[in-house]
Amino acid sequence: QQYVDNTANYVKFAENGAYQELIERFLMNAQRTAMSITVPAPGLKEQQDNVLAESLAVKKAQMTPEEIAELVKTTAAFGKEQDDSSQYVKQLQAVTVESLPVEARIFDVSDETGEDKIRRLNATAEVNGVGQALLLLDAGAIPQEDIHWFKLYTDLLGTMDTQKRDNASLSSSMTRYLYDRQMRISIFTGPTHEECLPFLRVSFKALDEDLAPAYDLVYEVLFESKLDDVQKIADRVEKVKTSLKQTITNQPFNIQIYRAFASVNPGFAYYNYANFLDYYAFLEQVQNLLADNPDEALAKLDNVRKMLHNSVGAVSGFAGNADSQNANRETADAFFAKLDKEERARAEYDLPKIAQSEALIVDSAVQYNMMFAPYDQLGVDGYSGAMDALTSFMSDAFLYPQLRDQYGAYGVQHAATEDGVFLFSFRDPNVTQTFDVYGELSKMLTDSQIEQEALEGYILSAYSGYATSSGELAGALSALVDTIDGRKQERFLTPTWRN
């Protein structure tokens, strides 16, 4: 609580010069300097070596020939034998594969849609006086040609002055009331993964007594930000563009993965189009538009804001105990009461197709080699937990020894998701050799002689990933998102080790 209350002092300290005084006093004009000097003493090293040699000679003279021979043998063997700690690990093992408990934290989630066309969900979490709010404003009516304006709008949120305060004061208030906040595009695809349902997603954690000012602040950021200062918007666009360029250059594997998923999942197709290469090209165009015709750019942003200022099709979610849920319902309803109530037709999308084989050219001396396949191409019904154990085994048994140890790649990842299976090498000096290894994996697996005990180790490792708690509020929020997207929490209980 002291930390939360003290955030109100941030702006005051900056305005009265306290921060600047501390920096100048202790960093810029420090009065103390420490220096360490090592002065070599001629002959000291030789003197120390002689003392050591005399000491060892005395010890050797006291030893029998058998003791000397044993010491030489032990010294020669030191480090050659690998330390096998498996027997000790086995002694600490609490469960075996056969005795794995089938358990997972299942949250109680209520779900209802009112006559006002707002869907309301609550996930009961075992916390007191605090909760996590989730707001989803339907963006399905925003046409394809304005998707990037929608993305730019989200990138401006929280960075501009508002009608009530400047950005410095706004930042202090957001730190105070909107802890762990997110304001971004989020796309749901439903249980079949075949829909494309975009939303503006807002989430934050707040104390019960702070919910009212928190929702007021969310409304202020979303709908009262000043979007009439062309220069400030242009400066923000330049920062976003620079950051995205760094992502493309330094983390191209993220873009590769999203593009792979986009080839089979309409939600990822929207997300990839809104966030990465196409968005970078758009930002370059926006910079020119802000310089040549700023009124058109400002009108586009204002139109996005008007499209989002609508409660029809919205979702209100909350994770907390019963008392917190009641407090949130009142404040969330007050937020939605400020919005328009208009039925709108959903936009149609014809997003750019992802090529089956493509290359992303970046300023890098190393490669990121990726392969991806959806389950229908693999002849598999879909994802199961068994794939986690299998991909871990493949990585340890074949990919790391071949790609990292033999060919020098910095790292490699092999994983299965709900959309398919992928492989990629990280900071890889090769291309041909890597794809040759990928092509041999099937034969390597067929010829492998993995023992049941080793396989069970991978099963236990995969299971532990599911069994690890993400935290009460984080788990409840995940349950909300799963329910909104038509996915059952119980899906984690379906696979057993026998799969």
Burial class (CB in 10 A: 0-12, 13-18, 19+), 16: exposed
Terminal Cα distance for the chain, rounded: 48
Collect all residues with Cβ–Cβ distance below 8 Å to 343 and sequence separation of at least 6.
117, 312
Q: Could you say which DSSP state residue 351 is in?
A: P
Rounded to a whole number of angstroms, the CA Rg of the chain reads: 30
Cβ pair 114, 310 in contact under 8 A: no
Phi and psi angles of residue 66, each rounded to the nearest 5 degrees, phi first: -65, -40
**7 bridge partner residues:** none
Q: How far apart are CA 238 and CA 283, in angstroms?
A: 8
Burial class (CB in 10 A: 0-12, 13-18, 19+), 344: middle
Q: How far apart are CA 393 and CA 415, in angstroms?
A: 11
Q: Report the pLDDT value the prediction gives residue 469, as an integer from 0 to 100.
A: 74
User: Tokens 């057993």 — which residue?
Assistant: 496
Q: Which residue ranges of the chain lie beneath pLDDT 70?
A: 1-5, 7-8, 30-31, 79-95, 97-103, 491-499
Q: How far apart are CA 332 and CA 317, in angstroms?
A: 9
Q: Report the pLDDT value the prediction gives residue 495, as an integer from 0 to 100.
A: 43
Q: Residue 376 is which amino acid?
A: D
Strand, coil or helix: 138: strand
Q: How far apart are CA 90 and CA 99, in angstroms?
A: 15
User: Tokens 């996915």 — which residue?
Assistant: 487
Q: In what order do the strands lie in the sheet with 179-188?
A: 109-113, 119-124, 315-320, 130-138, 197-207, 179-188
Task: Classify strands 370-374 and 315-320 as parallel, antiparallel or unpaired.
Answer: unpaired
Q: How far apart are CA 445 and CA 223, in angstroms?
A: 56
In the 3-class helix/strand/coil scheme, how is 172-233 assigned residue by residue?
HHHHHHCEEEEEEEEEECCCCCCCCEEEEEEEEEEEHHHHHHHHHHHHHHHHCECCCCHHHH
Collect all residues with Cβ–Cβ distance below 8 Å to 198 and sequence separation of at least 6.
139, 140, 142, 150, 185, 186, 187, 270
Question: Mind listing the pLDDT tens digit for each residue in 132-185?
Answer: 999 999 999 999 999 999 999 999 999 999 999 999 999 999 999 999 999 999
pTM of the entire predicted model: 0.80
Contacts for 20-26 with beta carbons within 8 Å, 24 or more apart? none
DSSP notation for 271-335: HHHHHSHHHHHHHHHHHHHHHH-HHHHHHHHHHHHHHHSB-TT-EEEEEE-HHHHHHHHHHHHHH
**254 bridge partner residues:** none
Structure tokens belonging to residue 413: 């990842």
Question: Mind listing the pLDDT tens digit for each residue in 392-426?
Answer: 999 999 999 999 999 999 999 999 999 999 999 99
| Domains along the sequence of the chain with CATH | 109-337 (3.30.830.10), 370-468 (3.30.830.10)
Phi and psi angles of residue 192, each rounded to the nearest 5 degrees, phi first: -90, -5
Using the CB atoms, write b or e for 87-98: b if 16+ within 10 Å: eeeeeeeeeebe
Task: Give the number of residues written for the chain.
Answer: 499
Cβ pair 398, 425 in contact under 8 A: no
Q: Report the pLDDT value the prediction gives residue 150, as an integer from 0 to 100.
A: 99
Q: How far apart are CA 361 and CA 219, in angstroms?
A: 41
